[in-house]
Amino acid sequence: MRKRIKRMALLFGVLILILGSLPMMINAVASPIVDYQTHIQNVGWEADTDVGWRSNGEESGTSGRGLRLEGIKIALNEASGYNLGITYQTHIQNIGWEGSTDRGWKNDGEMSGTSGLSYRLEAIQIELTGEDASNFDVYYQVHAENFGWLGWAKNGESAGTAGYGYRLEAIRIQIVPRGSGAPSVVSALPFYDKNAPPPAIGKLKVHFIDVGQADSILIQQGTHAMLIDAGNNEDSELVANYLSNQGVAQLDCVIGTHPHEDHIGGLDYVINRFEIEEIYLPEVYGTTKSFEDVMTAIQDNNLTISAPVIGEQFDLGSAECTILGPVAWDSSELNTYSIVIRVDFGENSFLFTGDAEAINESAMIAKGMNLEADVLKVGHHGSYTSTSQAFLDTVNPKTAVIPVGIDNDYGYPHNVVLNRLNKKGVNIFRTDLDGTIIATSDGATINFKVNQ
Ligand SMILES: [Zn+2]
């Protein structure tokens, strides 16, 4: 408390200094003062350190050191002369919103959060109470792991993330006269709730690389990258150069959808040249030299193969990937082992099906999986053995991309599939006609560029 009294004296001096000269600043100083402190991992309560209580927009916590906040205390300065109180709650790891539990909201300097359990705080809500509450807005913002400073929230709105488990690393709080606006705009990023669509930060870029009669798809989100298939053996350098030209040095995830050469042919070359965090292959063996080369490259680089687990989710930056296949494979057809993956970015979604066939499609529908997607990577190069009417109706894509070679031996894409797509009014892109196709999503809309 000694520190707070000292600061009041200082503020008084400042008030006298600026009286009559800067009317806007008088307003700011005349607002009630909010004092707050956080309990920081490895540090403890700030008031027990040299830092002391913070007030009026100062940062409490550590925005640069990445230490989690475990508790907060907020108090109004009693000398401010207003009939005001302050109430607040935190969203705590393993507990959720305190107000939804026996803990309830906290008031006027009480501890919210956990200072002993070491659970991270993930979000906060703050409201003013009392007769004068309607004259003021309380603004607050948080520094959240992976996001940085989020935008200002006010008067009971949520700030932070709920359900994502990102720790709070710092907070700022300020009270201003009602309607005078946020103290300053730092970031427009809002509160994120896991029940809402995943947050889209930056752009998601999906490159359908023109590798002729084969598949290779690069997906980039921020500094993160994933490769689905790597074309034929003869595409090895093309794919590797394409990745390098996009600034990719490291791949968070590589997926070899199934052991056919037109999908894993260039994979050994990629594995030997890029740092790879995780590699997924279906649980089936190929008998070809191409497949053996991939196995050798995996061994040489000390990688461990991850088997696809249906329903498994992982993040690619702020995009969310979900493994949907293979289900209902047929041991006489390698295509039916194709790994199927869905990528959600904000409100946009992409479905990548490898060479999955109609039996896989109907099994996924039967399982009630969420297959709806804005963009469908058409299965098996547009073969009639994939893209059944029921599947197309369920996915209901706006755009279809067909990786397919000019004058290929198989007559892909088959007319029956093209007709199905056209009848539904789906936009079609084909690598044989459009070259490399790049889809860019900002989380709300998707733009396509061809011949890239
Ligand atoms: Zn294929």
* Three-state SS sequence of the chain: CHHHHHHHHHHHHHHHHHCCCCHHHHHHHHCCCEEEEEEECCCEEHHHCCCCCEECCCCEECCCCCCCEEEEEEEECHHHCCCCEEEEEEEECCCEEHHHCCCCCEECCCEEECCCCCCCEEEEEEEEECCCHHHEEEEEEEEECCCEECCCEECCCCEEEECCCCCEEEEEEEEEECCCCCCCCCCCCCCEECCCCCCCCCCEEEEECCCCCCCCEEEEECCEEEEECCCCHHHHHHHHHHHHHCCCCEEEEEECCCCCHHHHCCHHHHHHHCEEEEEECCCCCCCCHHHHHHHHHHHHCCCCEECCCCCCEEEECCEEEEEEECCCCECCEHHHHCCEEEEEECCEEEEECCCCCHHHHHHHHHCCCCCCCCEEECHHHHCCCCCCHHHHHHHCCCEEEECCCCCCCCCCCCHHHHHHHHHCCCEEEEHHHHCCEEEEECCCCEEEECCC
CA of 388 to the centre of ligand 1 (A): 17
Contact 353, 382 (CB under 8 A): no
CA of 380 to the centre of ligand 1 (A): 5
For the chain, list the domains and their CATH numbers.
1-26 (no CATH), 31-193 (no CATH), 204-449 (3.60.15.10)
Beta bridge partners of 148: 144
Low-confidence ranges of the chain (pLDDT < 50): 1-29
CA of 134 to the centre of ligand 1 (A): 64
> Residue 363, Cβ neighbours under 10 Å: how many?
17
Burial of 10 (0-12, 13-18, 19+ CB in 10 A): exposed
CA of 281 to the centre of ligand 1 (A): 15
CA of 201 to the centre of ligand 1 (A): 32
**Alpha-carbon gap, residue 341 to 258, rounded angstroms:** 13
Tokens of residue 20, six digits? 């009559």
pLDDT of residue 185: 63
The 10s digit of each residue's pLDDT in 11-32 is 444 444 444 344 444 344 467 8
pLDDT of residue 198: 61
**How far separated are the first and last CA of the chain, in Å rounded?**
64
Side-chain half-sphere of 232: how many Cα atoms within 13 Å? 9
CA of 122 to the centre of ligand 1 (A): 44
Quote the pTM value. 0.66
pLDDT of residue 340: 98
CA of 258 to the centre of ligand 1 (A): 9
Neighbour-count burial for 199-238, b at 16+ CB within 10 Å, e otherwise = bbbeebbbbbbbbbbbbbbbbbbeebbbbbbbbbbebbeb
CA of 305 to the centre of ligand 1 (A): 21
pLDDT of residue 82: 87
pLDDT of residue 190: 74
